[in-house]
Structure 1
Amino acid sequence: MRKTTRRRILVAGVSVTALTLFGCSAATPAVPHFVKREGCRLTLDGESYRFAGANLWYGAYLGADAAYGDRPRLGRELDRLKALGITNLRIMASAEEGPLKAGIKPGFRTKDSWNETLFEGLDYCLAEMAKRDMKAVLCLTNFWEWSGGMMTYLYYTTGEYVDMNDPAHPWPEFPDKNSDFYRSEAAIGLYHDHVRRMVGRTNKVTGQPYSDDPTLMSWQLCNEPRPGVTPAVIDRALPDYYAWIAATARLIRSIDSNHLLSLGQEGTTASAGREDVFVEAHKEMDYVTAHIWPLNWGWIDGKDLVGTWDAGAAKVADYIDTHIRLATEMDKPLVFEEFGFPRDGELYDPEITTAFRERFYGIIYKAVEDSVASGGPVAGSNFWAWNGEARAAHDDHIFYPGDTAYMGDPPHEPQGWYGIFDSDASMHDIIKAHVAEVSPS
């Protein structure tokens, strides 16, 4: 998901600088039923497609017909999200089993075998989403450790790995080492095997090929792929990074010509602030993405929200402005597909208030609403993430191997850190008000 240097943050009210929004190029006819790109718009059946979305990384896990699954809960969570007006879900369509301590198990694959039960869990999830007229973004691997990801592909091919948060390998050794993935033909080959298997799959619940399923909005190459963190590593990795993006885009389009492609990148934070990398990395993509993590990036202090909110909110507004400008210059739609903020005091239980989170969501949602109103490039957003009825299984809020109370907070993070619970009434009201602005009935 995101960088795990856990510098704490939070926020307390201030107005945000006005966003400068721009117009889009003229539209052309769209292919019915599938979400398409027309200049800097997403369209569906010839009309602008705007959405309020969420991240539900564990959708395939709940959908699995197995001890670790919970199909009745999946139905309840989708109903809750639908009631809020959420119509777009970003879901993990991969998890690679390996030695990383925080990597969730089971995965979709090991080096030599596939977990068909989990693939069928994704089939079931998509079938249930279709009943509720929801769209899916399916993510095909992860830069971070919590679902195995690129580091596990390197382990499959070399037997070596660096674990995140290992005192022997402090930050940024993990992300810098992970950049070796882009120059490993063997690791990319295994990843492409998964891409072929997933993109070319036929849903066993509906009998429909994924490539023909209008429930799917976009294939996403990876969750937050970075070319490293250290500037010298980024410079070394960039040619291979760009080549991996281009080769994967060609592969997916050779199997599926109906659906959009997205990279899953955080934005300029992924490349130490370099705008040129953001632009080049998205050349093969149908739309651009940005993620916003003020606490993780050190913009606020979770234990001093009042004292750090103003400066943090200004950085959030500037980050939003930067990516709206870049998307406009590229004439491509923009989605704020991850944004998260802790509960007040950076505590984890659902009884804790969310005053500062509400203000943070207000900043993101206002930017989307302003762009919709002005014909700008922002197509929608996916908050991170939905906890729903799940509650931390342990008093220490740690996810232990074998746990199945899946939350929006992945296994490597405190359970309850960022996710929205089914009991968060004030957050629900904010989401519903935003839905009314961007997709009025």
Structure 2
Amino acid sequence: MVKSPARKMVSGNGLFYPTIGFASCLAFIYLSFGDLWVNFDEQPKMGFVERNGTQFMVDGRAFYINGWNSYWLMDQAVEGYSRPRVRAMLQAGAKMGLTVCRTWAFNDGAYHALQISPGRFDEQVFKALDHVIAEARQQGIRLLLSLVNNLQAYGGKTQYVKWAWQEGIGLSSSNDSFFYDPSIRLYFKSYLKTVLTRKNTITGIEYRNDPTIFAWELINEPRCITDPSGDTLQEWIEEMSTFVKSIDKNHLLTLGLEGFYGPKNPKRLTVNPPEEWASRLGSDFIRNNEISTIDFASIHIYPDQWLKAQKLNVKLKYISKWMASHIEDGDQKLKKPVMFTEFGLSNLNKDFEPSQRDRLYKTVFDAVYKSAKKKGSGAGSFVWQFLIEGMEEYNDDFGVVPWERPSTYQLITGHSCRIAAIQGALVSQKTHLKKLCLRRR
């Protein structure tokens, strides 16, 4: 999902909740001294995340993920007044026992564009991404970095098509030409190479050599509706994933799918949302993810968009089936981890209550925990989306400031504790989890 700016900063009633006053103070320090007050030379040790069959591994042991989405980190790191929000969010995530944040490593042709035009980059924005990565490492958080958007927010494939059209070399004005136009493919490969080989101006580490990056995501929610057979998208996935792997030997790679089954998996079509639209998007969960250059699968969960007329109980029952199907496929067919990289419940639903969102979160967390206990492929989940107070313009109808609602906060931190009980706490988690999990005994 996403999305365009439209988003919340934090009030707190606890010992470590970020506050507006705290962020304001940080803003003053940043404006005065930039990054000089942070000793990025003393970088916490962090190993690359690897894959062993259906499990992620780090430092020789299984790694299950309680993560979140804050897609706005790079955008907010550009300006001094908003940069403290990056640290506040990453610190808050760490204090909840979270380990990975999914965020955008793209902004094509829009405000605060990273890529101004094909092959031309804004160094100030690149330094903002440098800052996000360096700050994440300081807080013990890894990043799942997405590389382009299927949607129009922050440019996306639409912007690439516009660039080719403006230069008079585009084959078609269709957004889907992003996947098949040779010139646009070259644009995107140039972008990929620039990002993967970027040397962080703060840490001195090339992105491809930085274990702070958990993995790369090729594209957020790819769809190619002009070719429902799926052949066009499949060819693009194979070409681009091979290209990424030729440059970066260290990091895992995922596609960024929503998880819909395609026409080549007729037995699984009944798992898709009702009606046939989901099988006609040009994507196919099994086919797209089974190639060797894709290391793990991604799935999104938006029951109120897929089952709009249904009651919450029906939606939750469907989500349990949706998750079980994909975890089974990860275990038996793909033999790779599967990650639920976006899930949420809209507050625009009729008769919405925050407790309904808690029920969805619990459903997702329970399914991941059940799989993790069995050493299965259900490797983690990422709430869409977390914010801190003062970010109303970035909120959407799924946004959450988790510490504002105690029951939500307890669900999230409780999930961190029970995952840690399976795999053990990471070094970066030990201090926070000791405080969180002892309270629950």
Offset from partner CA, 1:343-365 (integer Å, 9 cap, x none)? 37569xxxx95110000011100
Shift of 1:159: 3.9
CA distance in 1, matches of 2:68, 2:233: 28
CA distance in 2, matches of 1:270, 1:125: 36
CA distance in 2, matches of 1:208, 1:110: 24
Q: Say if 2:170 is the partner of 1:143.
A: no
Q: Say if 2:280 is the partner of 1:311.
A: no
CA distance in 1, matches of 2:388, 2:194: 30
Counterpart of 2:368, as a letter, is V
Structure 2 equivalent of residue 373 of structure 1: 373
Identical aligned pairs, as a percentage? 26
TM-score, normalization by structure 1: 0.76
- The 1:254–1:111 alpha-carbon spacing in structure 2 relative to 1, beyond 3 Å, is same
Counterpart of 1:233, as a letter, is D
CA distance in 1, matches of 2:228, 2:389: 41
Retained in 2: the 8 A contact 1:41–1:48? yes
Structure 2 equivalent of residue 86 of structure 1: 98
CA distance in 2, matches of 1:178, 1:73: 33
CA distance in 1, matches of 2:405, 2:182: 46
Structure 2 equivalent of residue 166 of structure 1: none
Q: Secondary structure of the residue that 2:305 maps to in structure 1?
A: coil
CA distance in 2, matches of 1:276, 1:245: 10
CA distance in 2, matches of 1:78, 1:255: 28
Structure 2 equivalent of residue 37 of structure 1: 51
Q: Secondary structure of the residue that 1:388 maps to in structure 2?
A: coil
Offset from partner CA, 1:300-348 (integer Å, 9 cap, x none)? 45xxxxx61122122211211111121112100011000011237569x
Retained in 2: the 8 A contact 1:182–1:240? yes
Summarize the alignment of residues 244-393 of structure 1 with structure 2, pairs less than 5 Å apart. 244-268=236-260, 272-273=278-279, 277-282=284-289, 283=291, 284-297=293-306, 299-301=307-309, 308-328=311-331, 329-343=333-347, 353-392=353-392
Q: Say if 2:190 is the partner of 1:199.
A: no
Offset from partner CA, 1:238-284 (integer Å, 9 cap, x none)? 32211211111121112110000110111016882489922221113
CA distance in 2, matches of 1:375, 1:308: 33
Structure 2 equivalent of residue 432 of structure 1: 413
CA distance in 2, matches of 1:269, 1:58: 30
CA distance in 2, matches of 1:138, 1:35: 14
Offset from partner CA, 1:357-383 (integer Å, 9 cap, x none)? 000011100000100111110111111
Counterpart of 1:323, as a letter, is H
- The 1:353–1:80 alpha-carbon spacing in structure 2 relative to 1, beyond 3 Å, is farther
Offset from partner CA, 1:108-147 (integer Å, 9 cap, x none)? 1122531111111111011111111111111110001111
User: What residue ranges of structure 2 are gaps of 5+ in the alignment?
Assistant: 5-45, 168-172, 264-277, 426-441
Q: Say if 2:228 is the partner of 1:226.
A: no
User: What residue ranges of structure 1 are gaps of 5+ in the alignment?
Assistant: 5-31, 98-103, 161-175, 302-306, 393-398, 400-406, 408-414
Q: Secondary structure of the residue that 1:268 maps to in structure 2?
A: coil
Counterpart of 1:184, as a letter, is D
Alignment RMSD, CA only?
2.4
CA distance in 2, matches of 1:44, 1:252: 21
- The 1:3–1:180 alpha-carbon spacing in structure 2 relative to 1, beyond 3 Å, is farther
Counterpart of 2:98, as a letter, is I
Retained in 2: the 8 A contact 1:53–1:87? yes
